[in-house]
Structure 1
Amino acid sequence: MDPELEAFVPLFPPANLNDPATDRKNFAELAGSVPKPDTSGMTVEDHVVPGDPGVPVRVYRPDEAQGAVVWLHGGGWVMGTLDTEHPWAARLAEAAGAVVVSVEYRLAPENPYPAALDDSYAALAWTAEHAAEFGVDPARVAVGGHSAGGGLAAGIALRARDEQGPAIRFQLLNQPGLDDRQESWSARNFTETPWVNRAKVASMWGHYLSGQQATPYAAPARATDLSGLPPAYVASAEFCPNRDENIEYALRLLQAGVSVELHQWPGTFHGSQAILTADVSQRQIAELGGVLRRALAG
């Protein structure tokens, strides 16, 4: 493991999701400990996507933007709010020079699948409809997310393809949760990895699916046809249960004729880019922004 990251491992709370209320409190405390982002070069506004229920979103608008991304937070479908995602959404907007629409989708276990997917898809449709108001071309709208949010981004890309929904220019998938079956080598063997391990992944999927059979929109790795999807960037962490399913999904996208950039980050663990003092974390965040900037400008 990267020594700059390893020093922080003892500071992380236990890697489980057995008590959602406590886990959400711990998650909020971790997010609150991250240095605040500089938002002086952008406008930040809260909106509600109309619907039943409405979906809260926070829109980050840099002074000059090439396009927009519907950004879906991590947290195992159980944790996360607009406020906990604020440090990352603002940094992405700055690094990418893009409008970031951060989505507060409904959380499990109170709201299991497909609540989060439906909210995310509604936010995508709303963003495409209002893109011109944000000063961007509706043809330059991407989807992206971290962890569970990356899985949601991949899921709404599949749904948009199948339902002839809003055009998506790009998928930015950072350590996405894609496969509920947990059959890969990394999913089976990473039982003691920091922050996320096999048991925590099982809890995530258990809360999200709530006894339902996973569909490809819930677990995109189950999709048998990946053709016709937008180009993608897929990032994995070396010591992460999701690692092998991330790499396999990227390979399957390539085999289906989808252009893909794949980066497996050595020495990292799931979510370790939150440790901003580490050189590798700074490179990860910069790369996410740079990749999105190029995808929206090209």
Structure 2
Amino acid sequence: MKSKYPYSKELRKTISFSNINLEEKVRDGSLAKVAGFFSKQVSSYKSKIAKVRKDTCQSFDQKSITFYEFTPKKEESLYPAMIYYHGGGFMFPIQKAMMNNSSLYAENTGVKVFLPEYRLALDSPCDTTLEDCYAMLKFIFENAEKLKVDKNRVFLYGDSAGGCLAAGIALLNRDRNHYPLCGQMLIYPVCDNERGKYESMEKYKDAAWSKNSNEQMWRIYLSRGVEKETYTIPMKNELHDLPPAYIEPQQFDTLRDEAIAYANKLKNAGVDVDLNVISGSYHGFDADLKSPLVKRVFEKRYEVIRKFIQ
């Protein structure tokens, strides 16, 4: 079926999930089965361009959180580090595309990538998800010597729902006055639950990440209550004294305008922001690694990372 949006011809075709009832699939266990499939697929992942290691760290409640560590093949005494908070609507675990991205970042920028498997909205409150993500940050800084990480060159990265988590952790870290961060990269990020404020939410309601899916995502994520609202929903917080940000919205995406609004709010708070709207793109477009457009976008991301860690 032909798309109603003029996506770039350099990208493979995508579909919209606008008619899927996610809440029903949470109730009947379908999403849990899909999540299990993704986890099994990732558990056997191998990379030809980075060394991959699986480990655990402890979260705030002493529960073990699995993470994957991607180390460049070139040996260094200390590595800059990316903490990668993955997307998936707060409902899906790490997928192969995130593993591929982590390998590419390690190979092309020399960073060590940490990809944590935080607890999901299928069975945990959003505050638990947030604290799992903070636990990964804390673990890296408190074990930097053992992990061979340069504590002065650590930055946050997140795509989609992971962008929301990365932004929230930057805020939480600021207010807990803990660890130095050299940047935050937010890729087609979720920023706000007040969807009606943004023209793109209606204009691209049937795009790859649909209005219907977005609304259900927020209901599911917040369904068990929220204590740390201004960290769970970054747009509701004050945005001063944060690390420099690279924000990458996609042209044909329901989330485009809230990402732009978040970038502008950061700028108004005195934060250095590089806003880069990708023409012709859709939510999740960067899984198409063979696309010339995606390759150009990754080159820009590598450039941003090198600037953060210089």
- TM score, norm. by length of structure 1: 0.89
2:163 paired with 1:155: no
Distance 1:32 1:54 in 2: 18
How far 1:275 sits from its partner (Å)? 1.4
Structure 2 vs 1, CA of residues 219 and 272 (structure 1 numbering), >3 Å: closer, same or farther?
Answer: same
Structure 2 vs 1, CA of residues 278 and 236 (structure 1 numbering), >3 Å: closer, same or farther?
Answer: same
Q: Which residue of 1 aligns with 2:235?
A: 221
Distance 1:4 1:175 in 2: 19
2:99 paired with 1:93: no
Q: Which residue of 1 aligns with 2:302?
A: 289
Check conservation: 2:39, 2:93, Cα contact below 8 A. Answer: no
2:68 paired with 1:58: yes
How far 1:219 sits from its partner (Å)? 0.8
Q: Which residue of 2 aligns with 1:42?
A: 50
SS of residue paired to 1:71? strand
Distance 2:288 2:276 in 1: 19
Structure 2 vs 1, CA of residues 159 and 141 (structure 1 numbering), >3 Å: closer, same or farther?
Answer: same
- Give the aligned residue type for 1:9: T
Distance 1:226 1:94 in 2: 32
Distance 2:65 2:40 in 1: 23
How far 1:41 sits from its partner (Å)? 4.6
2:243 paired with 1:230: yes
Identity %: 30
2:120 to 84, 107, 118: 107
SS of residue paired to 1:217? helix
Q: Which residue of 2 aligns with 1:142?
A: 155
How far 1:24 sits from its partner (Å)? 6.1
Structure 2 vs 1, CA of residues 14 and 82 (structure 1 numbering), >3 Å: closer, same or farther?
Answer: same
CA-based RMSD: 2.6
Q: Which residue of 1 aligns with 2:221?
A: 208
Distance 2:139 2:34 in 1: 31
Q: Which structure's CA Rg is the greater one?
A: 2
Distance 1:235 1:229 in 2: 17
2:181 paired with 1:171: no
Q: Which residue of 2 aligns with 1:67?
A: 80
Structure 2 vs 1, CA of residues 244 and 203 (structure 1 numbering), >3 Å: closer, same or farther?
Answer: same
2:142 paired with 1:129: yes
Q: Which residue of 1 aligns with 2:10?
A: 4
Distance 1:294 1:135 in 2: 20
How far 1:132 sits from its partner (Å)? 2.4
- Give the aligned residue type for 1:178: C
Distance 1:42 1:266 in 2: 30
Q: Which residue of 1 aligns with 2:3?
A: none
Structure 2 vs 1, CA of residues 82 and 49 (structure 1 numbering), >3 Å: closer, same or farther?
Answer: farther
- Give the aligned residue type for 1:267: G
Runs of 5+ consecutive residues of structure 2 not aligned to the other structure: 1-6
Q: What whole-Å deviation, never above 9, does each CA across 1:206-231 have from its counterpart, x for those lacking one?
A: 111116367111110111x2110011
Check conservation: 2:199, 2:257, Cα contact below 8 A. Answer: yes
Structure 2 vs 1, CA of residues 292 and 84 (structure 1 numbering), >3 Å: closer, same or farther?
Answer: same
Check conservation: 1:27, 1:80, Cα contact below 8 A. Answer: yes
1:186 to 197, 200, 218: 200
SS of residue paired to 1:78? coil
Q: How many residue pairs align between the two structures?
A: 292
Distance 1:83 1:248 in 2: 30
Mean Cα deviation higher: 23-32 or 71-80: 23-32
Q: Which residue of 1 aligns with 2:292?
A: 279
Mean Cα deviation higher: 159-168 or 60-69: 60-69
Show the 5 A alignment for 1:248-267: 248-267=261-280
Mean Cα deviation higher: 124-133 or 282-291: 282-291
SS of residue paired to 1:55? strand
Q: What whole-Å deviation, never above 9, does each CA across 1:168-203 have from its counterpart, x for those lacking one?
A: 111011111110110211123321112x01111111
Mean Cα deviation higher: 103-112 or 70-79: 103-112
Check conservation: 1:98, 1:293, Cα contact below 8 A. Answer: no
- Give the aligned residue type for 2:106: A
How far 1:78 sits from its partner (Å)? 0.3
Q: Which residue of 1 aligns with 2:91?
A: 78
- Give the aligned residue type for 2:57: V
- Give the aligned residue type for 2:121: A
SS of residue paired to 1:59? strand
SS of residue paired to 1:76? coil
Check conservation: 1:28, 1:84, Cα contact below 8 A. Answer: no
Structure 2 vs 1, CA of residues 78 and 66 (structure 1 numbering), >3 Å: closer, same or farther?
Answer: same
Mean Cα deviation higher: 161-170 or 78-87: 78-87
How far 1:294 sits from its partner (Å)? 2.0
